[in-house]
Amino acid sequence: MTHRVALWPGDGVGPEVIVEARRVVDALGLDLEWTELPWGSAHYHEHGRMMSEDWEDILRAHDAVLMGAIGHPSVPDPVSLWGSILLVRQKLDLWANVRPARLLPGIPCPLGGRGPADVDMVFVRENTEGEYAGVGGRTHRGLPIEVGIETSVFTRTGVERVARHAFELAAGRRGVLTSATKSNASRFGYVLWDEVVEEVHAGFPGVRVERVLVDALAARMIRSPESLDVVVASNLFGDILTDLAAAIQGGMGMAASANVAPGTDAPGLFEPVHGSAPDIAGQGIGNPAGAIWSASLMLEHLGEAEAARRVMDALSDVCRDGPRTRDVGGTATTAEVGNAVAQRVAG
């Protein structure tokens, strides 16, 4: 069966890293068909929208989407992001954002005395609601009494499904699930969050669950990352904690993500966490590791576990032996790293 993959390079360094991820996947020689999507900020300037009007049909006609990044200084962020990735996450109901944060051998860690044995976490971020529900408004515009309201939305279904997925992942790993909360200050949303996590726990007696206030959790990630296995977090907490996790695993260029709806036939969307990085775009120096890692997550989602492992092994070897880009202590270009990984994958 041919895998149909939509390739969405996007903006900034997106196209530069995504071409390397594609090169690596192509080196596997799988039965896989790419459709390139010309969507992003240039598309917006030309057509007045970030994606084509029938974007949902196009994406649903694929098994997976491999995306670079979205965002350009010429388009206001809320316009470009609510016209693309945030809309896609919500409308395809890709309710889990799974972000592995593992320190690969050879990658410098900013935490003194820490190595790969200390950093092996998976974040499961709720991906469609919470602080990203898009509910709110502004009134009294321009007046001194102007107000902006942004409402967090927590549904039982939303918390339940993401918690269940996190418990399942934890059960297959070291058996520890940490739930990020803020139910000391919050009286409603995170109190519901805690209750639902506790209820879902009943079905996973083999997993130890701990409820940790998000501020304390941020400190703990720095002081004892080895104590964390799977972390489940709301949309905004997950966003913030995974930038911190990315720094611990060597920087934004290393981090990968999977936007998925496990148990459904929605196409997963796979993207590096780093964003469009306009400051270094066009220079050929962006780190393709996060994009290549995301491609590996995509292969797993497509049922190609062996291919996924080959890509991760090759990426891991290249991180250990070089070449490496400058953000992780090397001098190589984006393409040199991509080529090196592709060569190892091809054997």
By beta-carbon distance, which residue lies closest to Mn ion?
Answer: 239
CB nearer ligand IPM, residue 71 or residue 189: 71
Between 16 and 336, CB nearer to ligand IPM: 16
Query: What amino acid positions are annotated as catalytic residues?
Result: 132, 182, 215, 239, 243
Give φ, ψ of 293 to 5 degrees: -60, -40
81 binds, among Mn ion, ligand IPM, none (CB under 5 to 8 A by kind): ligand IPM
| Minimum separation from the CB atom of position 33 to ligand IPM (A) | 26
What CA–CA distance (Å, rounded) separates 232 from 225? Answer: 15
Residue 252: DSSP 8-state: G
User: Residue 328: which of 339, 316, 312 has the closest Cα?
Assistant: 316
Q: How far is the CB of 23 from Mn ion (least distance, A)?
A: 26
**Cβ 243 to Mn ion, closest distance in Å?**
6
The entry of ligand IPM, Mn ion, none that residue 244 binds, CB within 5 to 8 Å by partner kind: none
Smallest gap from residue 245 Cβ to ligand IPM (A): 11
The total number of residues written for the chain in this structure: 347
Q: Compare residues 221 and 299 and give the one whose CB is closer to Mn ion.
A: 221
Q: Which is nearer to Mn ion, 8 or 123 (CB)?
A: 123
User: Least CB distance from residue 13 to Mn ion, whole Å?
Assistant: 15
The answer to whether residues 126 and 93 touch, using CB atoms and an 8 Å cutoff, is: no
- Please give the span between the terminal C-alpha atoms of the chain, in angstroms, as a whole number: 24
Q: How far is the CB of 240 from ligand IPM (least distance, A)?
A: 9
Q: For residues 149 and 158, what is the distance between their CA atoms, to the nearest angstrom?
A: 22
Q: Where do contacts with ligand IPM occur on this chain (CB under 6 A)? A: 81, 86, 239, 273, 275
Cα maximum dimension of the chain: 65
Q: Which residues bind Mn ion (CB under 5 A)?
A: 239
How many other CB atoms sit within 10 Å of the CB of residue 243? 15
Q: How far apart are CA 59 and CA 321, in angstroms?
A: 37
Tell me the H-state helices in the chain.
Answer: 14-26, 41-47, 55-60, 77-82, 85-91, 156-171, 189-201, 214-223, 235-248, 289-301, 305-321, 334-346
**β-pair partners for 270:** 66, 258
Question: Which C-beta is closer to Mn ion: that of 20 or that of 239?
Answer: 239
In this structure, what is the dihedral angle of CA atoms 234, 238, 239, 243, given to the nearest 10 degrees?
A: 170
CB-neighbour burial class of residue 29 (10 A; exposed 0-12, middle 13-18, buried 19+): exposed
Q: What's the token pair of residue 324?
A: 């490496």
CB nearer ligand IPM, residue 59 or residue 307:
59
